[in-house]
Chain A
Amino acid sequence: MSETVLEVQNLTKVFEQPRPFFDYLMRRPAQELVAVDGVSFKIQRLATLGLVGESGCGKTTLGRCILRLYESTSGRILFEGQDITHLNAKEMQSVRRRMQVIFQDPYSSLTPRMTVRQALTEVLRFHKITPSDQEEAYLYRLLEMVGLNRDAADKYPRSFSGGQRQRIGLARALAVRPTLLIADEPVSALDVSIQAQILNLLADLRDELGLTVLFVAHELSVVQHVSNSMAVMYLGQIIEAGTTEEVFQASLHPYTEGLLRALPRPVPGKRDRQAAVEGDIPSPLNMPSGCRFHTRCPIAEEICKTQSPPLREISTTHQVLCHLRPSRDWNGERAGS
């Protein structure tokens, strides 16, 4: 159980911004955008880690770095004990079979000119999953597994609704029997009633097939529902991580608290008129000094503006990146133990 499937160590991804021509002539360096900044985490086998944050926090970039769709600037990615940070394309092929992804937009992540059968068969043949005489049976089993009829096989993506397309995306990802599934906002584009179907399906298949899942989303309630541990990102850094209970019931970082308070709850009654978190997310091109959250933080003090906050370990699982929480002079005593 405690075997680590994915470990990310100090991962950083910097994008160089395109330079205006004049800057190029003047040999001015390109502006740099630090999308992911020194992120580390581990996912144990069969666990689900929920990665949450608002737009621009780097959660999608992080997912893509792990898939090696982006080259990381520094840091290491260990997948099933193997360092995959610098594998070449050929070597990545077998890794990719064990590491699959589903995307947010079920409308653009399927090829419009391939039937479901063609799309799935291509994957099976490429990764040599089944002998050709068992291909069809396997295909039908996949469709059944994600809750689609057999006659879906010969249809084109356009004849499916958003939820059904997400099922096809899931079938394609699971066709190769991966160990790790990266789900990048898999239900954000779906209607509420369909969203619940897909979340349940994802949870069922995870348990049935023994998947380890990295679930990237901006919606806390969705992430809470499927994950056993969570990491909250803000401007490229993980600012709080822990088990789902720790992050939801005993959150320490003011940003996590703000996110939780800002979430509209389906319980009627007008609430506090004070916004949970004031201000806008700063541009990652113009990163705030010190703690990155200090420009919006309700409890920020002088030290937050100048010094980067320390990473504090509250328990073996719960970490927070803050000067002032649990308390300013906190010295490492584990709370409550």
Chain B
Amino acid sequence: MINGLNLLFQFLDSFAFVVLAAAGLAIIFGIMGVINLAHGEFIMLGAYATTLASVRLGLPLVAAMLVGMVVTALFGLLVERVIISGWAPNWLGQRLVGRDLMEPLYDRLADSMVATWGLSLIMVQGVRITLGNSLDQIGTPLGNIAYGGFSYSMYRVVLSGVALGVLVLAYLVFTRTEFGMRARATIQDEDTARALGVDTERTYAATFVIGSGLAGLTGALYAPTVTMVPGLGGSFLVEAFVAVVVGGPSVVLGTALAGGFLGGINALVSNLLGTTAGRIALLVTAIVMIRFLPDGITGFVERVRARRQEGGA
């Protein structure tokens, strides 16, 4: 039986999960054309950093989450300098042999996939070797909301609020700040942007750091609710990917719509037919969406708008 309030909470839950899983990836993919297959591991890093900060340093939860986010953002900076843009190896190469050692990974889909897959192997196993097979978990805060015979974890409802907040914040950053304007210019037409004086390299670096920070935030937020094992990133990766692609080129709106749509399908089918069916439904929906709306939801919307404008003129 569908209980309206139940379904609402489950939807918010699903929505939050998809949006938060996808946020960092969407920004990196949308702006830089880099597919980060280690995205799940960045989330893991944020979760681990948060847990360690809370358990070993005794920080209160919110502070620990901030630590998690910052640690991951810094790690993202390192990865960006060494692997994505190649700045560090090239600097070294110029000093030692007088030439660049590698090209940046921007817009190189397949190569970035392989490189980040290698990175993810290193990260998972590295964490396993240094921190063991699992970490003790921190408890979920905030208790629960009871209604009728049911109850839902308050924290998970709060998460959906945070997800919305992240989207709003990203929107503001993209439309109201210098950085956002430069980033959008770079997405639209990199060469023109550079010709107009935008430091695209700096923009890319900042983008990757922000994307990593968001992934770290996701990890931090979910740390109290998932088991702390080195492979925990894997359960976020699929939803993230699928949402990014279904969302389309507009980073903020696309992620929001994809989160809503896919989260809704998942929640509805899970409610009616069980979680396996819910998962398969989400994946099949993604396939169908990509097939019929190959540019994603927002790409489709843009095309419709463009066509209508042309028709009007």
On whether the two chains bind one another, the answer is: no
Q: Which residues of A contact B (CB under 8 A)?
A: none
B interface residues (Cβ-Cβ under 8 A, vs A): none
